[in-house]
Structure 1
């Protein structure tokens, strides 16, 4: 079908393309793991009938598959489904406003662009888990071809999908654990900065963070430090007189007031 309203913008074409000329992207995991996808498509179909299309889909040209279609989706699959649904029900002309971008260089490039084009959508835990898994595939692919990103794997993934490294680690391992089994014990001569009765379950990433924090506090203060699973931080001074030094190190006065 003829293409309408074609114009160039920064080397990228914006077109109106009939939905029959577009194929879904088999690497797009978002639609597979999203909750209530069919209901969301129905709701979007209604919105499109009433208000029209606000956002463009993103596609690239590919006629190599010999399936009668010309474009592959990178973003906007739900809108494509909604427009298709309306068209099949005799509602609308089936034209989809899209931005045509360069074809991905390879599978890794394609998967990365799918992730980045879905950066603004609301994401459930299931979607986030699938997203982290996809980013692990991308990382491994880059490493395999000698293009290892700088920094740690979880830091790089987090920076690309808007998650903290600790949260990424939790999704990567799927594990939860506590940090330590020690409780702060005043009878041992420790000065407990924080004590809580609740003992929440920690992810392995959070546990690793607290272990590193405990180690760094011990090294920087020159004293034994313990962080228990209730987040109590216990310092073990080198004698009674050293209590004042601990307070000063933490930013308090000798009388226990924060400076």
Structure 2
């Protein structure tokens, strides 16, 4: 009972402090991207801490608390960051070119979700861990996309037309992200990273045929498909040379005559 109260009031204190900071003391003000970003990061960090703690304590309170905090972080991330305060949908000033609300609201949650997925792997169900890892992939891709948008549109992402150069940059950015994931998967022998890479590259291919084909013209369309083709050929080569290579066992030595 005491442990439950400690977790509850720690979470409430964190949320109240975040609200006070994000609203400048106006506790009844509407929520903002900054508030949801801080809430998601703090909740994920607390969930990681409880997951680590429960491995030593084997306490059902720590076990349930970690799951509840993870669920709360998921709700904040999906409904708060991706819908209610998504800067693509609403008039929100995200700040500077690099150090901005996108870094706090999308990159940091992606990192924390990834850490949480590794904290629960082997300790909870595979679907549970993979769902959190999938969330990390979604937020990492969202960060890449929103940063590209920030480069072309400035701190207000919801205004202005999407040019051909911008569409082309999205395709290149997604391809680069997929290649980085594949490289990480090969270096650390991570099947999860390789599957994430395949998902991102498949999404890029879909974008190329559904969006780029209809919106890009001239050189940007040609470059988009050329870069996609080169990357796919390179990935095929990597899979053949590295991932599908099998060590051929040496044939057994022939018995010596008279042995």
Task: Report the TM-score, using the length of structure 1 for normalisation.
Answer: 0.29
By percentage of residues, which structure has more helix? 2
Bigger radius of gyration: 1
